[in-house]
A and B are shown apart, each in its own frame.
Chain A
C-alpha cells in the first residue's frame, strides 16, 4: 500500500513568510510524528500525535511552530515568520499505536529560508 507522503518536497521561502508543510500518514496509523534534520544534525523530535490524545509538543523549538492533525489523519506543520535557522529537512513518520520500531517515514520536505 501507499507509504507516508509529504508535500511539498521542496520549499523555498523568504525570511518572515509563513509556510505550511503537509503529511499524509499511512492509513490506519494512529501515531504521527514530526522531526526535522538541520545540516549536520540528527533528527530532532518536534511533535507527536497519538489518536485523540493531546499532542506532545515538547520538541517544538518556538511558538512560531505549530501543528495540527485533522480527523486523525492528515497533519500540517506550520512555521510562522520563518527564520533562516528554520532551514532543514522536515520529516513526518507514522506508526500503529506508537511502536517506535514501526515508524514509517515520509521522504521529507526540504525547506530553505532565504
Chain B
C-alpha cells in the first residue's frame, strides 16, 4: 500500500518556466512533509519542508503548497533552471512515529533550454 504517491514519473519544462511537482498521500496521521532532490549517483538531499499547520512554505525559487483536505501537496519551482534537472521525492512523517519517513516513488524533472 503506497501511502505517498507521485503519479507523474517524469516532467519536462522549459528553462524559465514554472515546474509543478505533485504528491498525494493517504494517511491522515502525516503531520510533516518534505521534498528531497536526487542527482544521479548521489544520495537524496533535503530541499524544503512543510508542517501540517501551514498551507504554504517558500524558500527562494521553491514553494511547497499543502492542501490537507485533498491530502495533496505540490512543489513549485520558479523560474526553473537546467540545474534543477533531477529526481524529486516527496516524503511524509507520521505524528505517531516522528523518526521515520515514508517516501514517494519520485518524479524525474528535466529542464531544457
- A, B: real partners: yes
Residues of A within 8 A of B (CB): 4, 31, 35, 40-45, 48, 50, 56, 91, 93, 98, 100-108
Residues of A within 8 A of B46 (CB): 101-103
Contact surface of B with A, Cβ cutoff 8 Å: 2, 4, 6, 32, 34, 41-46, 49, 89, 91, 93, 98-106
Q: Judging by beta carbons under 8 Å apart, are A4 and B43 in contact?
A: yes
Tell me the complex Cα distance, A99–B2, Å.
23
**Chain B interface, >50% SS class:** strand
A residues within 8 A CB of B41? 107
Contact B43 A91 (CB under 8 A): yes
Identify B32's interface contact among A91, A100, A106, A107, CB under 8 A.
Answer: A100
Q: Closest residue to A93 on the B side, CB-wise? A: B43
Q: Whole-angstrom distance between the alpha carbons of A91 and B105 in the complex?
A: 15
Q: Enumerate chain A residues within 8 angstroms of B43, measured Cβ to Cβ.
A: 4, 91, 93, 104-108
B49 touches A101 (CB 8 A): yes
